[in-house]
Amino acid sequence: MFDCLYEESLSRAEHRIWILSDLQQALPENTRRCLDAGISDFKSMGLPADQIWYLGDAVEGEEKERLRDMCRLQEEAFASLSLPLCYATGNHDYDYARAHRDQVPWLPFYETVRDHPGWKTADSCEDFWFHTEVGKYPVYFYGHSHIGDWKWAKKDAWRRISWVDWHDVPQIDVSSFENIRGRSCRSVFLHIHREGTMGVFFRDHDRHCFTEAYFPSPENGPAGWDDMRGLWG
């Protein structure tokens, strides 16, 4: 069922975006294992995306050489896909800077992305977000809340979709791109269709399958967004 929905959505997609977050490992060997699972599954799907959105927490920890190794592994892996990548920092990307406040701030993966040709991140490492537009769509994606992580997420451990307070705007949890805190290396594929609708597909890279699909209502498309601007000011 999900494969059929995905193929139909893919055939109608004007924009195809791969969204991931929270690889977040302190050991290079764990980074390599999770990367291998996610990247190999992505490649097995053919060419399923035109760009990558990486929503932060690429690394974890304070050991400089390990951080360099984890950045190198990720840069090589994502560069092998020859796709533009947009990256926003997460809290763990600041681990080294927080531990060495007396030094010039060093954010290893932020600097990796900033210096890689064709990749994009915020102009300043102090910015937690930046604006990029693909059509006029209020659809919000976030990481940080690792699906299946009972220790930290507790009652919300399996929450994938929730709504922005006071608005009929969905927000989708894409994390995490690791199978250690949670059970699977996870990500999301976003399709923006020519007629203004969208498809969101949750991927389990360890099991090479889609686990859920979500199609936002037309009210959350460009026309509906324009109608709601008065509510937002």
Residue 160 predicted with pLDDT over 80: yes
Average of per-residue pLDDT across 120-149: 77
Question: Given this model, what pLDDT does residue 78 score?
Answer: 97
Spell out the residues 6+ positions from residue 177 whose beta carbon is closer than 8 angstroms to its own: 20, 21, 22, 23, 34, 38, 185, 186, 187
Per-residue pLDDT for 232 more than 70? Answer: no
Per-residue pLDDT at 133 exceeds 90: no
Report percent pLDDT > 70 for the chain. 91
- Position 193 pLDDT exceeds 60: yes
What's the pLDDT tens digit per position in 90-99?
A: 989 999 999 9
Answer yes or no: is pLDDT of 214 > 90: yes
pLDDT at 154: 85
Amino acid 6 reads: Y
What pLDDT does residue 1 have? Answer: 86
Mean pLDDT over residues 158-185, rounded? 86
| For residue 28, pLDDT beyond 50 | yes
The token pair that represents 184 in the structure block: 């699977």
Q: Is the pLDDT of residue 219 over 70?
A: no
Per the CB < 8 A criterion, the answer to whether 150 and 113 are in contact is no
Sheet bearing 186-193, strands edge to edge: 120-121, 85-87, 51-54, 13-20, 186-193, 198-204, 209-214
Residue 218 has a pLDDT of 65
- Mean pLDDT, the chain, rounded, equals 87
Lowest mean pLDDT among 45-49, 94-98, 140-144, 178-182: 140-144
What does the alpha-carbon distance between residue 63 and residue 217 come to, in Å, rounded to a whole number?
Answer: 46
The pLDDT value given to residue 221? 55
Range of weakest confidence among 29-38, 111-120, 177-186:
177-186
- pLDDT, tens digit, for every residue of 39-94? 999 999 998 999 999 999 999 999 999 999 999 999 999 999 999 999 999 989 99
Q: Please check the confidence at residue 10 and state whether its pLDDT lies above 80.
A: yes
